[in-house]
Amino acid sequence: MYAVEKLDYPNRRAYVKKTEGDYYTDAIDYTDVSVLEEFESRPEVAVVSEHGEVKVATRIVGYKKIKFYTLENLGYGKIELPDLQFHTTSYWITFKRGLVERLPFSRLEVIDGVLGLGHALHSIASLHLMCDPRDLNRCVGDRGAKWFLRLSRDSKGIYSSYDSPEEISEEKMGLFEPTLFLYDNYPGGMGFSPQLFDDTRMLLEKTQRLISRCECRYGCPSCVGPIKEVGEKSKEVALALLKEILK
């Protein structure tokens, strides 16, 4: 394996050396997705399913050190790189105001539920498309690009979607209709989004079965994701959302 000693980003060069290390690194980033063009839309009582072209902006803020074989987290490192931006295609589902207001959860708890639902749906979609999970990526935010969810190593927060994003409170989010984006992780797209759009109900039914049949109490990597990332109510809220959607 090779370790990067220096990264010359303007000239697109990486200087590396051979090493016998026992870990690899995994980037810590947060992503903002904004809709550029809607190709198809299917409004329903509780949600609106759509697919189209989006702009993805990703900021990398650090990395995790993951031990081979055991996947133990060995620590973190900081890194500063220019934002990565590209246009691609995406499928997204917007949870209507009427749905989220009927549920006995706060806005932040609903976001946790959408985050957990997205974790499970990502797994189901990858199997359905027979693609590598890394060919898809996901983001939770506002369809109108007013805010997005940022995940860090220690916490998560709601940020305004501008060139210099600032953390905002749930009261300043405005109209609350959270959107889950599942986008092709390559510039120009790979053609996955139309199929995800066409098979929405089947994918959500499989996602519901995956979460409900998991024997964990609050959530785990096999269903909605690690509790430290998605929150203790993520599984409960995700199932409540799916129950309303699939009525």
Asked if residue 68 is part of any domain, the answer here is no
**What is the mean pLDDT of the segment spanning 223-243?**
93
The predicted pLDDT at position 144 comes to 84
The predicted pLDDT at position 63 comes to 85
The predicted pLDDT at position 127 comes to 96
How many domains in the chain?
1
Q: What is the pLDDT of residues 75-88, one digit of tens each?
A: 888 888 888 899 99
Instruction: Please tell me the distance from the alpha carbon of residue 242 to that of residue 113, in angstroms, as a whole number.
Output: 10
Q: pTM of the full predicted structure?
A: 0.83
Asked if residue 36 is part of any domain, the answer here is yes
Whether 154 shows a pLDDT value over 60: the answer reads no
Q: Hey, what long-range contacts does 103-111 have (CB within 8 A, 24 or more apart)? A: 103/237, 103/240, 103/241, 103/244, 105/233, 105/237, 105/240, 106/170, 107/170, 107/173, 107/176, 108/158, 108/170, 109/231, 109/233, 109/237, 110/176, 110/178, 110/237, 110/241, 111/140, 111/149, 111/158, 111/178
Most confident of 16-20, 154-158, 162-166: 16-20
Asked if residue 16 is part of any domain, the answer here is no
**What is the mean pLDDT of the segment spanning 219-245?**
93
| Domain housing 208 | 28-60+81-245
Q: What is the pLDDT of residues 136-149, one digit of tens each?
A: 999 998 888 788 88
Asked if residue 141 is part of any domain, the answer here is yes
Asked if residue 14 is part of any domain, the answer here is no
Instruction: Please tell me the distance from the alpha carbon of residue 132 to that of residue 3, in angstroms, as a whole number.
Output: 25
Asked if residue 15 is part of any domain, the answer here is no
The predicted pLDDT at position 200 comes to 96
Asked if residue 10 is part of any domain, the answer here is no
**What is the mean pLDDT of the segment spanning 217-231?**
90
